[in-house]
Structure 1
């Protein structure tokens, strides 16, 4: 057995900061893998007492040696090698898609620098867990211009449900744990610091070196008495251990010095119909409603095709809920056709654009999509939810809490005029943030922006669909998008069959100038759900003894006490005590008075109130709900 030799270099620290590449197998190889950060939720592998084989050497005819060329996609390649190994052990044919595994890894990584190349092993595993993986023929590994803009479309997403991740465990860096994991599972996915010795393994053995070039991911598919067997993704010209192309021996000493991370996994039973129900209702996280509401964020595939994720009118291209034109084009195509095409009659007769409030972050929106979508679709409604990054949530709440504590320290917790002092102190910065939010709402569907072009494509698709009506719904500041959408639909000469606004957080000037002129024209009817003033005043915040709309009215609008459309006092200022001055196309229902239509106790309770949500459903479908097609109390949980 050849014994690895050691190269030493001067100025090793200087070598560490070189660009992360290595020339190997006649190509420049990118080495961009980032180390997995510490996460206390990680589950660690524990070896069993099953006797270990003296060595594990794979049959080289079972190995699919891939070549990533110069792209930094090694996490996808390494994971594909491990998944293929698992599938071979089950006697299953074919190879899984490295392209999908890598692209999903990029979406699910939480890197400090979102523009950094490559990904982590955890990102690859999370992407696999949340999305599954399709066959290589459905998402082949293409390079250059051919690979640009690859996106997980609806058909491929459903195919990916056949191969999913079951359990995965992080490995402690103990040689016995590695041996046990490989003996049990056949292969592990690993990453390490790559040095110059990886460039040209001699007789299939990686020569030791201290010249670090970057980070790389690979599969470990066996072991001998001298080291681990690495299946790499640099083509068949690399490696050659025991005449196995693409495989090299990594000595235990080298492993000890340069290994970074490793995970062992097991595939789940193939059960596509169970993809959305990983946890039973009596699982611990569902026993407490508060725990359920803060449970795991939905996977992108759970809500695929039902959201637009925008920041200042541009698609958000990184993170769990990435958005691009390709995915929106798929949605537009589905809307235009009226559904899946599996039925003679259209699946959908309504398109619903739902704009959520400024305090609803992307995870909160995703949970609502997951909770509501099946009911909407059963009623022939195709929902599109707008995730718009306002920055209002974290910025304003943090600022107001800080101001509250300062105010209490100055005046005492029980001071009668603490609210007034808080309004005064919060006003300067709060008004700026609220003003920025209004600017953001104007950009969301603005002409020339990706969001503007995207919403126009959806409306045009709806116009071409058979007898499809378009509707709008919103919560709180989401009403600011109603005027923008109505302008788009007016330009395209498509009516908005209904608009349903819950506690609309806009002032009367905005209503009179931007919304009211559309009533009876582009907006055929506006339905509003608000709290009576008694419930408004009782809906206190932790930092303020009145409701959020009172805080907006008294501190965030330019003038203290600005009348707001969503408040009973604001509506009375607009249309008189009995609201006689409202247009005929504007109906208002008050929680606390109109109990058949709504009975929410708070602003945040409106989209959790069964009566409110079912009345909105009725306004969309024309009253034809009932039985299993209506929302049940179970649909009002988990968000």
Structure 2
């Protein structure tokens, strides 16, 4: 007698994991491995048999089964809260190797990463809804998911039966994927799947036992399939059609009131990431490579998430505030996403304590590594061996002069791509900046007293250029940035730029127009002195500041020594020597329309003017700069020093 089910009625769309040498492999230990682990022993636990129906979500359902088993073993079945397979499936798509979300199915690795980075919420908080599967978490979901974190997890060699037996004996359950054939439609009365040749597609399931014939697994097609929801895949079948296997342990739920210093973090800190994400989620916006919202990775952002931040999270958090202040913060771009997130764990509460809601942008966070590689490539063209320290320092200025033209071919191309990304975020119909401003415009109409504040560091000024132009322009926009578009005509309460990387021409087209039209209440430029710029360095290869490299090499008009038109390269808005040469900026500074703060300084003019930064990156790490920026947002001459704003 056979159990008959038309496999063709099921969506079989699990994708094999791509090759990734970063996977940590499980190694069999000397734990006692029984000759068999009977299915009946596993069934005594009464782990729920799930049914995914006609949905291609088996990666989520199979992993939910693994979660149910591990949670039941830890807390007991009576205390088991069913988890959401839909969350696991939807979040897995953030970590698959394929772009976008307009495809069915996902990979086992993607699902494991999703659980490891976010935890898994209860089934009642994330139930399936017809249509497009969402890929972002609400605050409630994120908080609940962090209570069920995944600890260590390893890839098991799916061709190594000894390792697989050992892993099942050690943990009790494995997460597996394999190819489904027509034999799955006619299962023997004892639960065994007859091996057939015709492949139907890929599927995920949970291995829960074994005997001399093969592996027992729990499926997610309901309890009428196979042997009450289970089946046995023979070793011959598995070795031919098995594709991926993972083994895992639960993590420990933790509460973090303060971030762990980076130097004390363990090698794998994703459990910390999962724990803090619930608090940070409403304060992070990810912009992708094409300028649209990024829908992949730990900090993916959808348009629905942006809407929820601005229509739910911000209003709820600011309900009791005397003034509603929204601060859009764009970091410099040289830090990795993890570094920005770590910084935001500190800054979030500092801002909220002052009744300022911070919203940070994650964008172009790979540029620091890219720039280092470009400089290294340029250096190799001059000296294939050794390091800068091997040379005598009296030649360092000549090394910089030599590097600038060498890095230009590759560096200017990457710089142009970066600037295009920033512009696209406001220009294309689904650009991240454009979508955010649509919601801000709606919010400002509901909250007429809402204050918009901008803070940008270094490369962050590039992303703010089109944002300022689109937000502040009344009617039709002119110029090369967003010419032909229609602006919102809104005002900005304050705009503070730390060492902006914008060219002076782009600065005047965007920020300058807003300043001239009185659309920015308080505008402040923080810059290094020219002496400090020349004492700075990039990747310990180029011995001037990043802004010098941009001005001399990466921008459209490179520096050509002794040239009457190119001797200084391209004028950059964040550099002292160019600000002093710009008549319009000097006029605004003299009239008080623009405050210019040169660093480092002692703060003799008061907290609003204090900045101790000595390097380009130093602005984001300087407590005095933070206090001065907060004082300007609050419109206060002095900002009280607190532990939060100290190093």
Residue 110 to residue 368, structure 1, CA distance change in 2 (3 Å): farther
Distance 2:620 2:66 in 1: 44
Corresponding residue of 2:295? 317
Using CA pairs under 8 Å that are at least 6 residues apart, name the structure with larger relative contact order, 1 or 2: 1
Deviates more, 1:502-511 or 1:251-260: 251-260
Shift of 1:589: 1.6
Equivalent of 2:355, from 375, 380, 383?
A: 380
Note if contact 1:45-1:171 (Cα within 8 Å) is conserved in structure 2: no
Shift of 1:219: 0.6
- Count of residue pairs brought into register by the alignment: 597
Note if contact 1:297-1:367 (Cα within 8 Å) is conserved in structure 2: no
Distance 1:348 1:134 in 2: 35
Corresponding residue of 2:60? 76
Corresponding residue of 2:493? 497
Note if contact 1:56-1:224 (Cα within 8 Å) is conserved in structure 2: no
Distance 2:263 2:544 in 1: 37
Where in structure 2 are there 5+ consecutive unaligned residues?
475-487, 558-565
Q: How does 1:505-516 map to 2 (within 5 A)?
A: 505-516=501-512
Corresponding residue of 1:259? 242
Distance 1:260 1:524 in 2: 60
Equivalent of 1:572, from 546, 561, 580?
A: 580
Where in structure 1 are there 5+ consecutive unaligned residues?
4-21, 634-639
Instruction: Look up the SS of the partner of 2:297 in the other structure.
Output: coil
Distance 1:499 1:112 in 2: 35
Corresponding residue of 2:419? 438
Q: Deviation per CA, 1:134-156, whole angstroms, max 9, x where unpaired?
A: 2212211344x2x4445322222
Q: How does 1:487-566 map to 2 (within 5 A)?
A: 487-490=469-472, 491=474, 492-519=488-515, 521-541=518-538, 542-559=540-557, 560=566, 561=568, 562-566=570-574
Shift of 1:295: 12
Residue 113 to residue 467, structure 1, CA distance change in 2 (3 Å): closer
Corresponding residue of 2:615? 602
Residue 229 to residue 137, structure 1, CA distance change in 2 (3 Å): same
Shift of 1:259: 3.4
Give yes or no for the alignment of 1:221 onto 2:198: no
Note if contact 2:501-2:573 (Cα within 8 Å) is conserved in structure 1: yes
Shift of 1:328: 0.7
Give yes or no for the alignment of 1:59 onto 2:43: yes
Distance 1:172 1:409 in 2: 41
Distance 1:137 1:86 in 2: 19
Q: How does 1:223-372 map to 2 (within 5 A)?
A: 223-240=210-227, 244=228, 246-271=229-254, 273-274=255-256, 284-285=264-265, 301=278, 303-310=280-287, 311-334=289-312, 337-339=315-317, 345-346=320-321, 349-372=324-347
Residue 569 to residue 423, structure 1, CA distance change in 2 (3 Å): same
Give yes or no for the alignment of 1:614 onto 2:624: no
Shift of 1:583: 4.0
Residue 366 to residue 512, structure 1, CA distance change in 2 (3 Å): same
Equivalent of 1:138, from 96, 100, 125?
A: 125
Shift of 1:352: 0.8
Residue 257 to residue 380, structure 1, CA distance change in 2 (3 Å): same
Q: Deviation per CA, 1:600-636, whole angstroms, max 9, x where unpaired?
A: 1210111011211222122223447546573232xxx
Normalising by structure 2, we get a TM-score of: 0.80
Q: How does 1:113-128 map to 2 (within 5 A)?
A: 118-128=105-115
Note if contact 2:118-2:145 (Cα within 8 Å) is conserved in structure 1: yes
Normalising by structure 1, we get a TM-score of: 0.81
Give yes or no for the alignment of 1:190 onto 2:176: yes
Distance 1:126 1:294 in 2: 9
Instruction: Give the root-mean-square deviation of aligned CA atoms.
Output: 3.9
Deviates more, 1:605-614 or 1:576-585: 576-585
Residue 31 to residue 130, structure 1, CA distance change in 2 (3 Å): closer
Distance 2:458 2:307 in 1: 29
